[in-house]
Amino acid sequence: MNKEISINQLHEHIRDDMTILVGGFGATGSPLTILDEVAQFNIQGLTIVSNNLGENGQGLHKVFVKGQIKKAVGSFFTINKEAVQAWSNGELEIELIPQGTLAEAIRCGGAGIGGFYTKTAVGTALAKNKEHREIKGQQYIFEESITGDVALIRAHKADRLGNLIYHETARNFNPMMATAADVVIVEVDEIVEVGELNPETIVTPSVYIDYIVQTAYTKEGDAYVRAE
């Protein structure tokens, strides 16, 4: 078994109007090489589920400025001025979800759970039109789970079977997204042979991963830089 593919094969998996889960908290833990490639495709109507829409002109920002995104689902878009402008012009739909609710909704989506009750956002504008329920004397709101057609995620190392380990805070949303989409494609710093990863340290088991792509990025100072 070898799940490694060339970045040139990515187009086989991404189509118009798909819902795509994209890992990362800003650029940290974001599949930058994959997103560079997606930005080259002639596609549209994507629904993107990600904490925010890229950072410093990298990652999802490139996909967004190509006009490929119809709707963004996430927790923090304020820092992306172009996205705010597009939303104001009615060119971009935004669904705002508290960060913890977003993470849990994706976790549930991958775990076969339809939704959950949370106390986060009770009594706020984000609880409008949501089912309320009192449990053990406390108010909760119902939040539906989230799944995607494709997940594009980032890890540090993969073996050829797709077992993954992560690096520092670049883990963030990636392990949940790995479980919550029909097709899961991971970008990694290093691909090793089966058996080389210590099973005690594997965070995402291979069963969740369909394809592995080698990153084209290296780290320089506090930035990710594409090595050409």
Contacts to other proteins by CB under 8 A: 25-29, 51, 55, 75-79, 83-84, 87-88, 94, 96-104, 106-107, 118-126, 139, 156, 166-176, 203, 219, 221-224
| Phi, psi at 168, each rounded to 5° | 50, -135
> Whole-number minimum distance, CB 118 to other proteins, in Å?
7
Q: Which is nearer to other proteins, 43 or 48 (CB)?
A: 48
> Whole-number minimum distance, CB 42 to other proteins, in Å?
28
Q: For residue 85, which amino acid is it? A: Q
Of 75, 87, 71, give the one whose Cα is nearest residue 121. 75
> Whole-number minimum distance, CB 26 to other proteins, in Å?
4
> Whole-number minimum distance, CB 14 to other proteins, in Å?
24
Q: Which is nearer to other proteins, 64 or 224 (CB)?
A: 224
Is residue 115 within 8 A of residue 103, CB to CB? The reply is: no
Q: Which is nearer to other proteins, 44 or 139 (CB)?
A: 139
Q: Which residues pair with 192 in a beta bridge?
A: 159
Chain-centroid distance of CA 178 in Å reads: 9
> Whole-number minimum distance, CB 94 to other proteins, in Å?
6
Q: Which is nearer to other proteins, 14 or 146 (CB)?
A: 146
Q: Which is nearer to other proteins, 14 or 166 (CB)?
A: 166
Give the separation between CA 228 and CA 213, rounded to whole angstroms: 16
Please give the C-alpha separations between residue 198 and each of 77, 118, 135, 195, in angstroms, as whole numbers: 38, 36, 42, 7
Chain-centroid distance of CA 110 in Å reads: 13
